[in-house]
Every structure is written in structure tokens, then in C-alpha cells.
Chain A
Amino acid sequence: MSAREIFKVAKAENRKILYELEAKEILSEHGITVNEGYLARSAEEAASIAERLETPVALKICSPQITHKTDAGGVKLNLQGEMEVKKGFEEIITGAQNYDANAHVLGTVVQPMVKPDREVIVGALRDPLFGPVVMVGLGGVLVEVLKDVSFRLAPLEKADAWEMLQDLKGFSILTGIRGKKACDIEAIINVLLKISEVITEYKDEITEIDINPMFVSPEGAIAVDARIVLN
């Protein structure tokens, strides 16, 4: 579906927060590499998707009411084989009901596990004074404590994207320390430029975008989870 079609569906269903798969579709449409994912509505479906993918999988709760998935016990990683996947699915659904009995649960998203390397958070929002703003930061769970993030106003030029990365205290983690190879910085810059395009283009529809985490490695940058908040 195109972005505008997705907005229509969400509006009809009275949702302000797009599902992970919807957000990823929009971002992917704009040239951001995303980790493929498929919605499983049952344990059997989850197992069959996992079999098709042929890799260990991650399962993530899919519910419009549950936005902090990890807090709700809604994320299970590295599941292999039919038994594990089915059990994982069931545990997530039960956990979700315990977390929020009123939540409408569609199922779980099934994704191939991505080889971990380094993590960044990339986002965009609309500031009441300055308009569209793009953010990048060293990611992971500690981002809200360490707050190693930098901002620039969209639309971004390539030089802005470079400078905002260099502003990060932990920039050298991305360029490689202790013999670790550098991440594909150009790929990160590409994501920043593309997210700048998205927040600029959909100025009436989108208010916030989060790509957290985005896994970065020497091979590239891949959005593992994404959220888009509508107006």
C-alpha cells in the first residue's frame, strides 16, 4: 500500500500510531532499508512464516494499544524451530492480556533476526517553533539516560547529516574503535536524508517518526523497528 492509503486505513480505524509493518512500508517506499516482517495471527502462522524465513526469528506483539513492546513482554528474540516459535507466540499473547486486558491484539510480527553490531536511533518530529526536525543518536536502551543525540532542521543537506553525526559524543563508536571496523556511515547518512524527505513531504499527516533500533554495521544500515505517529 502507498503511504496515503495507509493513512486512510489508519484514519478509518481511528488510529494515530501506525503499526510497525505500516511504518516500515512507508519508510521502505522512500528508500530506507527495513527488516522484513510478516504479521502472524496465530501460533501456527508464526511457525510457518519462521519456517519459510529459514532463520532464527524475533516475534513482536502487534497491537495499537501496546506501544512499549518490551515493557509488555511483547518481544521475544532468537526463536528457532516450530516448538519455540509457537510457545513464544502464546507467551506474548498471554503477556499482552496481562499487561492490558483491553488491548486489541492482532497477533505478532515475525522477523528474521538481524546480526547485531552497533545501534543508532533515527527520528523526526515537528517542532512548534522550528518545524520539521531530524534526530540521530547512539541507540540502545540507554539512549534516554545518556541522551547522546543531535538534531538538525529538515530539509537536510548532506553536510548537515555529516555534521550531526560528528556532533555525537559517541561518533567514534560508529567509525570504529579498538580495531572494530567502521559502520557504513554513508548508509546512515542516506537514512537521515530520506527521513528528512518523509517528515517534509507528509507535513499534514505525520508528526513523529522513530526508527529504534536501526542496526548499523560495515555492511549497511537496517531499520529493525519503526514507529510513525500521525496528526
Chain B
Amino acid sequence: MNLSTNELEPLFNPATVAVIGASTTVSSVGYRTVENLLKDGVKTVYPVNPKGGEMLGLKIYLNIKDIPEKVDLAIIVLSAKGAVKAIEDCGIAGVKTAIVGSSGFSETGSEGANIEKSLREAVAHSKVRILGPNCLGVFNVHTKANLTISATMELVRDQLISGGVSFVTQSGAYGIALFVQGVENGLNFSKMISLGNKIDVEDSAVLEYLGADPETKVIMFYMEDIKQGRRFFEIAKKVTPHKPIVAFKVGRTEAGARAAASHTGALAGSYKVYTSAFKQAGIIEADTSSSLLEIARVLSMQPAMKGNRVGLVTNSGGLAAETSDFLDTAGLCVPTISTELQNRLLEEDAVPAWGVYKNPVDMTVANIKYREWYYRSTKLLLESDEVDGVLLIMVGVGLEWPVDMFLEQAEELRRIGKPIVITGSSRKSAMAEIVPKYHQAGIPVIADPALAAKALAALCHRGSYLERVRA
């Protein structure tokens, strides 16, 4: 059954949330979930447990049906069979949406599959829209509401900065780990949603919701499979002209050959069809979870690249050479700049006077005194019509990275409308101090040059796709 985006609203922005299976045992999921909800972003929390009593200053209701007001969202942390009954009760109580955190369904085998069937029937009958089962829930970074059954999200609560990247994950634990990794690397999320077994709310419904959500600027997927492939494709095609989608699909090797009577059938491995569908819908495909995070981050921070020519500004010829190889593999090029542009760099004191700068622009000296060179070269390259983006490649033993200049002139550079990415490394402590400053200026720092190359390639892919759809 196809959901409207309105039906999903209570899943992301509930005012009243009940926890069915709430528990006074401090280490339990039934306790933790209530505790999470009380942190922020939720108006009223209702613990539910037939034993009744009190917890965390709240009355524990015996049944969802006893709650005196309409509940937007119920988070269910009972056993699989308990969850089926709970959904029936939610239906009677008029609860709009539910997150079923319980496991023990089809992922465990045939008995679980039978319970899942009962759950499907309960959902159809009760008209409650459910996320899961076997999922972790939703985290809304704007409202800071932790609608998950996990305590892990709380570990990074203080580091959260709300942003535009919404993350849809099919894996619970791994999804949360990636979320935390993202947060710690300067990825500003909007929402995170863990889908679980997807028996009701699935990828295409969530994609449609996030596509229409004004807070979401980039949509990122960690997926193992898609339930409604064609619908997902059609919706993605409508979303990508306005917002980038990046997806990492796991499970590319063929588990079972397709039974086919033709050559075509024999050659059409299911992963090949996925990757073609992504391409056709303008979805950027990431090849690893790290590149998924970095591509999403860069897409949210920098404009698309209108061509594939990259200008390199560096203090290390060696790292620049290594990076050039990665750029080439990623389908980008490092063109030799014209003599005019080379002369301009010299004339405008953007480079040391004793060198030749064909691209890469190698300063050869790592010296704070000359940090204006990095800024001026970057600006001149971007302003010329010979490159479509600049990659700064910096190695530093001390604090040689010219961060202050870039911070001061961030607006100026942003106005040019071409992407800037920084790669390279320094000592851990130096990076910890420098990198957040660049991120504040909106310039992503990606230490691994191979990953930086993939991120730039994604910006380039985005640019050529936009050109194709707007033509």
C-alpha cells in the first residue's frame, strides 16, 4: 500500500510518543527508549506496561488504549508475538504510526516469517503505519528527538549540528555506526531512519517523504535490497533534478543465477540492473560506506562541478602526483593551464616567483608566511575558465595549513560557484584543530586522497546530470 508523505509525518515529528514494553529495569531497551525520548524534541512521553507503576517521573499506563490523548507514534519493544498484539491495540487506540523495534521475524527463519505474516495482517487491519519490524527507529537532528531504541545516538548528542543530509539505512547497528562516524567527521545530518524488515514503510515511501522535506538537501541510502524497485526508480527520477541522492548497495555478487531462457536473461544479473537503474535515475552510487559518507557530506557543502577539470594547489609534489592518479581513475582530469594563466599567477603574487606552475600549482615551500599564495592561486584558478573545481593538497608537519585566510574569505570564494575540496594530512592534533575550522567555512577536508577524488567525481557526476535533465 502506497503511503502519502503526510502519513509519515508523525514518524519524523511526533508530539506524543508511547513506548509499549517500557521497563523500570535500567539496563533494558524498555527503559532506555523512554530515557531517549525524554532528552529532547518530544512533547509528551507515555510509558506502557501491563505491570503499571512509575518510571522517570512518568506514570506507566497498563495499555495503549488507556492513554487519554491521541498518540502520534508508538515505539514497540516487546517480543515478536507481543508486537503483533500491540499493533492491534494501537489500531483500536487510533495511534497513527509505530516503530517496531522487536526482532524475531522473517530474519530469523520460518517461525519468525509466520509471525511476520501475522504482523502484516495486523498492520493492514489496524491502519497503523509501521516502520520495521527489526529496526532501530528514527533520529531527527533538527528537533533533536531520539526516536530510536539505541543508546548509541546519545553518545554524540553534544556533537550534533543540524544540517541537510538525511540518511536511510537498512542496517540498524551498522547504520548507527555510520551515522556516528559521519557526525564525528563533520557531516551535518537532518534525519536518520532505520528501515528494518520494511514490511510497511519502505524505501520508496521514505524517499518520497525526504524528497518533499524542505529540511533535507541530500538523501543518502545504505541498502541491501529495495522492496519496490520500479516505484523507487520513478520517485528517484523526480527527486534527483532537485536534490542529490547517493546510494551504497551491498550484496553485489550473485547469490543465485537468474533462470533465463535467453542470453539477455542470463546476462542480466540483478546487481547489474540495480546499478543501471541508479544511473538512469541520476542516483550517485558509492562503492564503499566511507565514500557514501564523504560523497553525501561534500554534496551538502559544495556546488556541483560543471566539467571534469580539476586545479590542484599543493605544497607536496609527491602527494599531488599520487592524487592525480586517483583523479584519473575517477574520470577527472588535471589539465595543463595556459601560459596566460600561469603568468597571471606569477604577476598577481599568487605563487613563489621562482617556479613554473602548469597545474599542479606546487608551492614547494611549506611556510605559513606565504599562506596568501594558497588562497590567491585557488581564487585565480576558480575564476578562470580553465578549471571546474580546485583540490587543495596539503601535507603539514606543523600548522602550515592556511586555514585563517580561507575562513576569512569563505564568502568570496563561495560566490565563484565552483567547488573546493581539501585533502592531505598533518599530525592528529593539528588536524583535530584545523579541520573543524575549514568545515565551518563550508570547505570539506577529506584526508584520504583516493576518497577525495571520489567525492569530486560525485560533484562532477551531479553537474553533468543536472545539465542533462535541464537540457
Contacts and interface: CB of A to CB of B under 8 A. Distances in A.
A133 B273 CA distance: 8
B328 to A, nearest CB: 17
B264 A153 contact: no
Contacts of B274: 129-130
B226 interface: yes
A71 interface: no
A208 B264 contact: yes
A67 B230 CA distance: 31
Given A130-B273, A160-B280, A210 B263 contact: yes
Interface string A66-102: 0100000000000000000000000000000000000
Contacts of B280: 152-153, 160
Interface string B253-287: 00000001111111110101110110110000000
Contacts of A67: 261
A153 B233 contact: yes
A229 B262 CA distance: 8
Q: Which of B267, B270, B274 has the most CB of A within 10 A?
A: B267
Q: Chain B: interface secondary structure?
A: helix
B276 A123 contact: no
B369 interface: no
Contacts of A152: 276, 280
Contact of B270 (A123, A124, A129, A131): A129
Interface of A: 16-17, 67, 121, 123-125, 127, 129-131, 133, 135, 137, 143-144, 147, 149-153, 159-160, 163-164, 167, 208-210, 212, 227, 229
Contact of B277 (A150, A153, A210): A153
Sort chain B's interface into a size bin.
20 to 34
13 contacts: A124-B264, A127-B273, A129-B226, A129-B274, A130-B230, A130-B277, A135-B264, A144-B263, A151-B276, A153-B230, A153-B233, A160-B280, A212-B263
A149 B267 contact: yes
Interface of B: 225-226, 228-230, 233, 260-268, 270, 272-274, 276-277, 279-280, 468
A124 B280 CA distance: 16
Contacts of A123: 262-265, 267
Q: Which of B260, B266, B268 has the most CB of A within 10 A?
A: B268
Q: Chain A: interface secondary structure?
A: strand
Contacts of B260: 125, 208
A124 B273 CA distance: 12
B268 A125 contact: yes
Contacts of B268: 125, 127, 133, 135, 151
Contact of B264 (A16, A130, A167, A209): A209
Nearest to A151: B276
Contacts of A17: 261
Nearest to B261: A229
B276 A133 contact: yes
Given A130-B277, A151-B276, A125 B264 contact: yes
A147 B263 CA distance: 11
A210 B229 contact: no
Contact of A143 (B261, B267, B276): B267
Top-5 shortest CB links A-B: A123-B264, A129-B229, A151-B276, A210-B262, A130-B229
Contact of B233 (A130, A164, A167, A229): A130
A131 B262 contact: no
Given A130-B277, A149-B267, A151-B268, A125 B468 contact: no
A149 B226 CA distance: 23
A14 to B, nearest CB: 15
Given A153-B280, A159-B468, A129 B273 contact: yes
Contacts of A167: 279
Given A124-B264, A208-B265, A229-B262, 7 more contacts: A123-B267, A125-B260, A125-B264, A133-B276, A135-B267, A135-B268, A152-B280
A35 B280 CA distance: 32
A130 B261 CA distance: 19
B76 to A, nearest CB: 29
A151 B468 contact: no
A129 B229 CA distance: 5
A147 B267 contact: yes
Q: Which of B228, B266, B276, B279 has the most CB of A within 10 A?
A: B276
Nearest to A228: B262
A29 B260 CA distance: 25
A129 B231 CA distance: 9
